[in-house]
Chain A
Amino acid sequence: MISIVDKVIPLNKAGPPGIHFLLENRHDRNSSPVGIDNIEIISPSHNSSTLREIFINNQAQLKDIVDSAFHGQTGSIGFAVESEGKNHYYELHCFPNSGDNHKSVGCLLVDRTKEQSERARVDSQIYELGLISQAVRAFAETRNLSEILRIILLAVTAGSGLGFNRGFILLADDSRECLWGCMGTGSSSPEEAGKIWNELSRNPMTFNEMLRLYKAGGAYDGSVNEMILTVRIPLSGEQDFIARAAMQRQPMIVGPEMIKNDNDLALKEKFGVDNMAVVPLLSQNSLQGVILADNIITRRPILQTDLNLLEIFARYASDAIENSRLYGKLEHQVELLKEANENIIRSRENLIRAEKLSSIGRMALLVAHEVRNPLTIIGGYANLRLRKTGADDPSRHTLELISRQARRIEKTLDRFSSVVRMSGKEEGKFLLVELITETLGMLSTETDPLVPRHTIGRNLCEAEIFVDKGLFHQSLMAILREAAGIAGGMRNISLDVDCEGNSALIFIDGGESNPKFAENFYSGLRDRKDEERYQNMAVALEILRHYGGDIGIGSSEGTHGRLYIHIPLREEKV
C-alpha cells in the first residue's frame, strides 16, 4: 500500500517545484516481492490521482527504479506522458528510507515539460542556425549566381530548417526599376510533396548532401521554377505587396488583409496562396531582390519567428548575391580589358604592318619614278625598233626580249605603286557616302567609264568611318576592279550600302546571271593563280582589316551569295 503526501515542496530556492511524496510497502517485504504492481495508491487530492495515473500508465518505465529504491538504491528517471494530444515531460527521483527498514521510499516528481519544450526550441534554433551556417559556407565556395540562388532556395525549403514548402527569388535589375523572377523551388502539388517527404524520411540527408543533389539538378522543380520566371514586379507606379516590402526595405508576412489592390490580387492568384513571407534581400541597404516563401501544401501559418529567421538568412544571402554580381561585373570588366588589350596589340601589329607597307610603298614610289621613265624609254624604243624590224632580222629576238622584260618590270612597279600615297596620312573620320562616291568617281576616270549601279541607305547619310581616305579609296577600287573582272565589267556589278549594328556593309552583287559571283571571287583569291591579282587584293584586305573591317560572303534565304565588305562605324580612333 502506498500513501502519498500530496504537497508541493520547492527543492531549494533556485530549483524547480516538484511533488514530494512517500511510497510505503504495507506487505512484508520478505514474504511479498516489492513491486509497483502491488502498490495501491491512495490519495485524497486531484494531484494524487494524476500521480496514480502517471504511475499506472508508465509502470514499465518506473518499475525498476521504484524496486531499486525499496532495495536501498537511489535513482532517477525522465519520462514522457501524452495527455490530451500534448507531451508532458517528468523526472522521478526515488530515495530509499533506511530508517524504517526500507518499508517506504521518498519520491520527488518534477514536471519538466516547460524546460523540455524550451530545450526543443533551442535545439531547433541551433539546427536552423547550423543550417544557415552551412548555407553561408556553401556561399563562400561559389561565385556562380545560379548556384547561390539554388543554395538559398534549398535552405529556405530544407526539412526542419526554415522548412517552407516553396521558395522563390526575384532579383532587382541594375537600375532598380523592376524585380524579375529568377528561380523557384518546392512542390507543386500535395502528392509530389508527400512523395518527396516520404523519400526524405526513408533516406534522411544532411544539408550538404541535399546541396550536392540540388547542384546536380536532382531536386529541381520545373513547374514552380517556370511559374516564377513569368513574374515581373515594377517598383514604381501602383505597387503590389512584393514591391511595397522591397521599397520599404521591410520583411513582411502577407495575409489576406494585405490584398489591397488589383496587383495584389493578381499576385495572390498567381501564387495560389494568401499567406506568404516576403523578405527583401538587402546588401548595405542596396536592394538585390526579394525572397518569397510560403506553405502552400501544409497550410501552416507563417509566424513572426519564421520571418525573423528568414530575415537573418536573407542578410547573408544578399551579401552572397551582391558579391556574385560584383564578381560577375569584375569578370566582365576583366574580359573587356583583355579584349581592349588584345585590340591594342592587334592595332599595334597592324600599324607596324601598315607602316612597313607604307615604307615599302614610299620606296616603290621613288623607284617607280626613277625606273619607270628610263624603262618607258628603253622599252618604247625597243618596240619602235621592233615594228621596223623584219621577222628574219637577227636583232628581232633581242628587241622582243627587251620589250617583254620592260613590260614585266612595269607590271611589278604597278603592283607596288598601288599602296603608295602621294600625300601624307589622311586618317580621320569621313562620311561613308562621300568616300564611296569619290571611289566610284575615281573608277569612272579609268578605261571603263561605267561605274557599278549603287544604292546607299538613307540612314547612312551621316554615317562616318575612321580610315585613311587614300587607303580606303585604293582598297575599295581594288576590290571593285577585281569584282568587275569576275562579273564581266563594272556595268554588271551593283553596290548596295547599308548598316547593321555598328558596321557599315557594302554588298557587291554580280547580278542574277552571275549566281556564283561571290564564290568565284573567293576561289580566285584562294587558288592564287594570278599572282598580280592576289597581291592587289591582299593589300586591299590588309587595309580593310587595319581599320577593323573585312570581306565576306553573305546570303539571305533563297538568294545567291553576295560579296560584302564590312567596316565599323566608329566614334573614335582605333
Chain B
Amino acid sequence: MKNILIVDDEEGIRNLYELEFQNEGFKTYSVSSGKEALNYFNETRNVDLVILDIKMEDMNGLDVLEELRAKTAGVPVILNSAYSTYKNNFTSWLADAYLVKSSDLSELKDKVKELLTI
C-alpha cells in the first residue's frame, strides 16, 4: 500500500483528501504546516507521494518543496493550491505536477495514480 502525505493548513481539505484517497486504497497521513511536513520526513521517510499546499501560515509550500527536493529527490510532489499563479514561479517547476484545488478530485486522483505508476 502506498503512503501519501497530505500537507494543508485547512482541516476540511485534509479530511476530504484523506477520505478520498483512503477510499482509493492509499494509506494517508496529514499535517497542517510545512514545518510539520519536514519533521515528518526527517522522522519516518516512509512517504511515497506528497500533496502539498502552497500558501500556508508558517511556511510557504514552495520553500517546503525546495527542502524536500534537497532531501528526497525521488519522492513525487504534487503542488495543490487555491492559486493558479504560482505556476509562474520557477520553484513550482520542481514539483512533479501543479494542480489547482477543485471540488472535482478526479484530476488529482488521476495524477497521483500516474505518478505512483499504479
Min C-beta distance of A172 to chain B, whole Å: 56
Q: How far is the CA of A68 from the CA of B30 in the complex (A)?
A: 145
Min C-beta distance of B53 to chain A, whole Å: 9
A377 contacts the other chain (Cβ, under 8 Å)?
A: yes
Residue in contact with B82 in the complex, picked from A369, A378, A403, CB distance below 8 Å: A369
B105 contacts the other chain (Cβ, under 8 Å)?
A: yes
B116 contacts the other chain (Cβ, under 8 Å)?
A: no
A130 contacts the other chain (Cβ, under 8 Å)?
A: no
Interface positions of B from 52 to 80, Cβ below 8 Å from A: 55
Min C-beta distance of B21 to chain A, whole Å: 11
Measured between beta carbons, the chain B residues less than 8 angstroms from A379 are: 102-104
Q: How far is the CA of A384 from the CA of B93 in the complex (A)?
A: 31
Verify A365–B85 contact, CB threshold 8 A: yes
B87 contacts the other chain (Cβ, under 8 Å)?
A: yes
Measured between beta carbons, the chain A residues less than 8 angstroms from B55 are: 369
Nearest to A380 among chain B residues (CB) is: B16
Q: Of the 9-residue stretches A120-128, A136-144, A304-312, A412-420, which lies at the interface with chain B?
A: A412-420
B92 contacts the other chain (Cβ, under 8 Å)?
A: yes
Nearest to A379 among chain B residues (CB) is: B103
Verify B83–A368 contact, CB threshold 8 A: yes
Verify B93–A417 contact, CB threshold 8 A: no
Q: How far is the CA of A372 from the CA of B100 in the complex (A)?
A: 9
A441 contacts the other chain (Cβ, under 8 Å)?
A: yes
Hey, what's the 0/1 contact readout for A404-448 against B, CB within 8 Å counting as 1? 001100100010011011100000000000000000011001100
Verify B83–A380 contact, CB threshold 8 A: no
A494 contacts the other chain (Cβ, under 8 Å)?
A: no
Interface size on B, residues (CB 8 A): 26
Nearest to B87 among chain A residues (CB) is: A442
B86 contacts the other chain (Cβ, under 8 Å)?
A: yes
Verify B10–A445 contact, CB threshold 8 A: no
Nearest to B102 among chain A residues (CB) is: A410
Given the contacts A369-B55, A374-B12, A384-B16, A422 and B85 also touching, CB distance less than 8 Å: yes
Size range of the chain A interface in the assembly: 20 to 34
Verify A378–B103 contact, CB threshold 8 A: yes
B88 contacts the other chain (Cβ, under 8 Å)?
A: yes
Verify A381–B16 contact, CB threshold 8 A: yes
Given the contacts A410-B102, A445-B98, A376 and B86 also touching, CB distance less than 8 Å: no
Verify A384–B19 contact, CB threshold 8 A: yes
Min C-beta distance of A484 to chain B, whole Å: 16
Nearest to B8 among chain A residues (CB) is: A373
Min C-beta distance of A86 to chain B, whole Å: 100
Min C-beta distance of A321 to chain B, whole Å: 59
Verify B100–A383 contact, CB threshold 8 A: no
Measured between beta carbons, the chain A residues less than 8 angstroms from B86 are: 422
B89 contacts the other chain (Cβ, under 8 Å)?
A: yes
Given the contacts A376-B13, A377-B16, A445-B87, A382 and B103 also touching, CB distance less than 8 Å: yes
A20 contacts the other chain (Cβ, under 8 Å)?
A: no
B101 contacts the other chain (Cβ, under 8 Å)?
A: yes
Extra A-B contacts (6), CB below 8 Å, given A376-B16, A380-B103, A407-B103: A372-B100, A375-B103, A403-B103, A417-B83, A417-B85, A473-B88
A residues adjacent to B (C-beta < 8 A): 365, 368-369, 372-384, 403, 406-407, 410, 414, 417-418, 420-422, 441-442, 445-446, 470, 473-474
Q: Which 5 A-B pairs give the minimum distances between C-beta atoms?
A: A379-B103, A377-B12, A372-B82, A406-B103, A380-B16
